[in-house]
């Protein structure tokens, strides 16, 4: 994956409309840098020009989007991810050559040579940062965090660990079961390292830090529109003893409140996640 240019706005193929960063900020760099500061422009470019429609959709489905979570609750809500981006138009290298008035490339080495521009390529940039028609439940996002913590494997979620009599006698106990494999162990390890950086100095989730434990996180802001209140605050994360595998994962959604238009995941949701993670860790 390349380093992304420092920018305050990004226009996806087939549009001149700029997608902006929070507060008009300028950012870019490596995966670790853009995750640490939650750089919209870089992630939008990553999705539209380096990941592509096929892999973006495949990976979203692998994480459980567009599927009913196998939890022991009646009618659990599905999280949804768009799969229709219109017709395939041309290869990405050919598109940029045409846009820049250059001759069509005869050879296009590298990962971008395998990607294509679709009719609704701007939509791909938007869904890459969770906008457009992406819909996610807190359970879904908790499973995303847990998958990263668990070497890419999503386990079947349960409301209860076991069932007991009123006297405390064990009747039955739920056994861990795999549901899906979202990413490879190596990709999960890279994401864990990057998410730990988000909780470190200069990251957007510093308020999730817990003394004596390793914590990783990712903040988010779900835009609702232009009228107040205009956004939900999100954060997901995991934690565990220093030098050991993570043992707890969490997702926190703080719904929009009137007069709280500046609420973000880092400011509002991260302290709640920190309290939940710490309580769970101390109870073990």
* pLDDT tens per residue, range 73-84: 999 999 999 999
Per the CB < 8 A criterion, the answer to whether 64 and 80 are in contact is no
Mean pLDDT for 32-58 is 96
Give mean pLDDT, residues 37-62.
96
Q: What is the number of domains present in the chain?
A: 2
**Are both 102 and 233 inside the same structural domain?**
no
Does the residue 132 lie in any domain?
no
pLDDT of 264 reads 84
Q: Assess if residue 248 is contained within a domain.
A: yes
**Whether residues 104 and 203 fall in one domain:** no
User: 197 and 111 in one domain?
Assistant: no
Whether residue 266 sits in one domain with residue 160:
yes
Last residue of a domain, one of 102, 127, 152: 127
* 173, 113: one domain: no
**pLDDT single digits (tens) 190-230:** 999 999 999 999 999 999 999 999 999 999 988 776 666 67
Q: Which residue has the higher pLDDT, 54 or 259?
A: 54
| C-alpha distance from residue 237 to each of 37, 93, 165, 209 (Å) | 15, 37, 34, 11
Kindly give, in sequence order, each residue whose CB lies less than 8 Å from that of residue 92, ignoring residues fewer than 6 positions away.
Answer: 13, 49, 52, 112, 113, 115, 116, 117
Residues 57 and 115 in one domain: yes
Q: Which of 104, 127, 150 is a domain's end point?
A: 127
Q: Is residue 153 part of a domain?
A: yes
C-alpha radius of gyration, the chain, whole number: 20
Domain assignment of residue 18, yes or no: yes
| Residue 114 CA: distances (Å) to CA of 36, 96, 183 | 28, 14, 20
pLDDT in the model for residue 84: 98
Do 107 and 174 fall within a single domain? no
User: For the domain that residue 162 is a member of, what is the CATH number?
Assistant: 3.40.710.10
* pLDDT for the residue numbered 70: 96
Structure confidence by residue, pLDDT tens digits, 92-118: 999 999 988 887 776 555 566 679 999
Q: Is residue 65 part of a domain?
A: yes
- For residue 227, the model assigns a pLDDT of 65
Domain contains 133: no
pLDDT at 144: 98
Domain boundary, last residue among 93, 127, 161: 127
Question: What per-residue confidence (pLDDT) applies to 113?
Answer: 63
Residue 90 predicted with pLDDT over 60:
yes
Looking at the fold, whether 189 and 269 belong to one and the same domain comes out as yes
Residues 228 and 97 in one domain: no
Q: Which of 133, 121, 145 is nearest to 64 (CA)?
A: 145
Quickly count helices (H) and strands (E) in the chain: 8, 13
Does one domain contain both 144 and 262? yes
Is 252 a member of any domain?
A: yes
Q: How far is CA 215 from the centre of its chain?
A: 16
Let me know whether 208 and 275 are in one domain.
Answer: yes
- Among the ranges given (51-55, 101-105, 160-164), the one the predictor scored with the smallest mean pLDDT: 101-105
pLDDT on residue 263:
76
Q: Residue 26 is part of which domain span?
A: 4-127
The reply to whether 164 and 276 lie within a common domain is yes
164, pLDDT greater than 70: yes
Query: Does 245 score more than 70 pLDDT?
Result: yes
Mean pLDDT score across all residues of the chain = 92
* 245 located within any domain: yes
Residue 68 predicted with pLDDT over 70: yes
């Amino acid at each position: 994956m390349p380093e992304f240019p420092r920018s305050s706005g990004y226009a996806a193929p087939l549009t001149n409309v700029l997608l902006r960063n929070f507060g008009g900020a300028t950012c870019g760099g490596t995966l670790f840098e853009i995750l640490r500061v939650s750089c919209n422009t870089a992630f939008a470019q990553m999705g539209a020009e380096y990941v592509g429609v096929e892999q973006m959709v495949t990976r979203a489905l692998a994480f459980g989007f567009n599927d009913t979570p196998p939890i022991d609750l009646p009618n659990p809500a599905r999280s949804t991810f768009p799969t229709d981006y219109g017709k395939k138009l041309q290869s990405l290298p050919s598109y940029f050559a045409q846009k820049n008035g250059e001759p069509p490339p005869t050879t296009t080495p590298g990962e971008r040579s395998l990607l294509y521009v679709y009719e609704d390529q701007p939509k791909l940039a938007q869904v890459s940062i969770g906008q457009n028609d992406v819909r996610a439940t807190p359970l879904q996002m908790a499973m995303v965090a847990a998958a990263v913590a668990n070497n890419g494997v999503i386990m079947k979620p349960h409301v209860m660990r076991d069932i007991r009599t009123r006297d405390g006698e064990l009747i039955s106990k739920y056994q861990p079961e795999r549901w899906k494999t979202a990413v490879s162990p190596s990709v999960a390890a890279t994401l864990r390292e990057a998410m730990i950086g988000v909780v470190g100095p200069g990251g957007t989730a510093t308020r999730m830090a817990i003394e004596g434990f390793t914590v990783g996180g990712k903040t988010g802001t779900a835009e609702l529109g232009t009228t107040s209140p205009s956004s939900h605050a999100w954060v997901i994360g995991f934690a565990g003893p220093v030098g050991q595998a993570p043992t707890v994962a969490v997702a926190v959604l703080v719904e929009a409140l009137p007069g709280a238009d500046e609420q973000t995941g880092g400011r509002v949701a991260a302290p709640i996640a920190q309290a939940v993670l710490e309580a769970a860790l101390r109870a073990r």
